[in-house]
Amino acid sequence: MYACDFMKVLIAEKCGFCHGVRNAISVAEKTLMQQKDRNSVYSLGQIIHNSNEVERLAKIGLKTVDEVEHICSGTVLIRSHGAAPEQIAKLRAKGFDIVDATCVLVKRVQRIAEELANDGYKVVIIGDEDHPEVQAVMGCAMNVVVIADESDLHKLPHNARLGIVCQTTQSPEYFGKVLGAIGRSDFNELKVMNTLCNEAIKRQESAVQLCLQVDIMFVLGGLKSANTRQLAELCKKYNKQTFHLQNWNELDKNILFGKNIAGVTAGASTPDWIIAEFVKNLEAFNADSG
Ligand code: SF4
């Protein structure tokens, strides 16, 4: 028996798929529909960082590979995180059809990095070096350096002209913090381009607003999804009862004990059906145990 009678479930005003991810999924579905041989459509890396959605698309024929070398023939989909120009050149050289679903905002960061390098700046990306978006941007300019936090500052050359961009899904607070640290280094010139994604910021703002009003907060999305992890970290700062889950099956029902209001948000790569299923089950669970 769980004491969660009358628990309300509130959903963040902005959550779930952003336009970049929605576009990538719809491009993938259309490409699969158009192919006679559905087995020949590949995604270079997971199309989005959500294994439930990747599994759904795999069932209708989308194959995920990590390396260009693992593709024999067919159509290759470039995911919303983009791909490095060198990877795209390899695909072209091998004669594959390319369908580019790179988010326009990610393309913008790539273009800016290239322009900064052409203008003689040492390009600095603030973000996570292991993230595919950052790796693709790294491939767009020569001698790029990635700064995740103060411990990376030693990578900066002395007296340089630094041209700075940020991984799109980072928070303004994080961007400002790392920027402040870079500002204390011995650079000659600093050019800062704001490459943060407004969609991600809106999700962060509405998640914070919501988690302040609830007893327990759920952040739904892939464990590898950078923007979902950002949301969860942010919510944890304001509400210690925050849980990052991929779906309803992962919920330990015992944590609902004594809670009256639950909040639900989701990262930009979390499909609507995962959110709807979670909310429906949470509401049904209350009714059953009330
Ligand atoms: S979170 Fe922003 S940058 Fe990333 S895919 Fe979505 S719209 Fe594009």
Residue pair 74/40 in contact by the 8 Å Cβ criterion? yes
pLDDT of the residue at 236: 97
User: Of 55, 133, 173, 199, which one is the catalytic site residue?
Assistant: 133
- Pick the atom of ligand 1 nearest to 106's CA: 3
Q: Answer with the residue of higher pLDDT: 286 or 33.
A: 33
260 burial via Cβ count (<10 Å: 0-12, 13-18, 19+): middle
What are 258-288's pLDDT values in tens digits?
A: 888 999 999 999 999 999 999 999 988 764 4
Q: Give the angle subtended at the CA of 272 by the CAs of 236 and 9, to the nearest 5°.
A: 50
Q: Record the pTM.
A: 0.89
Question: Cα torsion for 233, 250, 168, 109, to the nearest 10°?
Answer: 150
pLDDT of the residue at 6: 56
Q: Is the pLDDT of residue 34 over 50?
A: yes
Q: Is the pLDDT of residue 2 over 80?
A: no
Residue pair 222/246 in contact by the 8 Å Cβ criterion? yes
Query: Could you tell me the distance, in angstroms and rounded to a whole number, from the CA of residue 113 to the centre of ligand 1?
Result: 17
Question: Which domains, ranges and CATH numbers included, belong to the chain?
Answer: 8-16+198-289 (3.40.1010.20), 19-102 (3.40.50.11270), 105-192 (3.40.1010.20)
Query: Could you tell me the distance, in angstroms and rounded to a whole number, from the CA of residue 143 to the centre of ligand 1?
Result: 25
Query: Could you tell me the distance, in angstroms and rounded to a whole number, from the CA of residue 218 to the centre of ligand 1?
Result: 21
Tokens 């005003």 — which residue? 13
Q: Rounded to an integer, what distance in angstroms lies between the CA atom of residue 101 and that of residue 46?
A: 12
Q: Answer with the residue of higher pLDDT: 178 or 285.
A: 178
Q: Rounded to an integer, what distance in angstroms lies between the CA atom of residue 48 and that of residue 224?
A: 10
- Pick the atom of ligand 1 nearest to 18's CA: 6
pLDDT of the residue at 67: 85
Residue pair 214/253 in contact by the 8 Å Cβ criterion? no
86 is catalytic: no
Residue nearest (by alpha carbon) to ligand 1 atom 5:
20
Residue nearest (by alpha carbon) to ligand 1 atom 2:
197
Q: Answer with the residue of higher pLDDT: 60 or 1.
A: 60
Mean per-residue pLDDT for 34-46? 82
Q: Is the pLDDT of residue 38 over 60?
A: no
What are 67-102's pLDDT values in tens digits?
A: 888 888 889 999 999 999 999 999 999 999 999 999
Query: Could you tell me the distance, in angstroms and rounded to a whole number, from the CA of residue 105 to the centre of ligand 1?
Result: 6
Q: Rounded to an integer, what distance in angstroms lies between the CA atom of residue 122 and that of residue 119?
A: 9
What are 45-58's pLDDT values in tens digits?
A: 999 888 889 999 99
Probe residue for ligand 1, chosen from 27, 46, 103, 166 as the CB with the greatest number of ligand atoms within 8 Å: 103
Tokens 């700046």 — which residue? 121
- Pick the atom of ligand 1 nearest to 80's CA: 5
- Pick the atom of ligand 1 nearest to 227's CA: 1
pLDDT of the residue at 215: 95
pLDDT of the residue at 287: 46
Mean per-residue pLDDT for 186-199? 96
pLDDT classification of 36: cutoffs 50, 70, 90: low
Look over the chain and give the mean of its residue pLDDT values, rounded to a whole number: 92
The share of the chain scoring above pLDDT 70, in percent, equals 95
Q: Is the pLDDT of residue 126 over 90?
A: yes
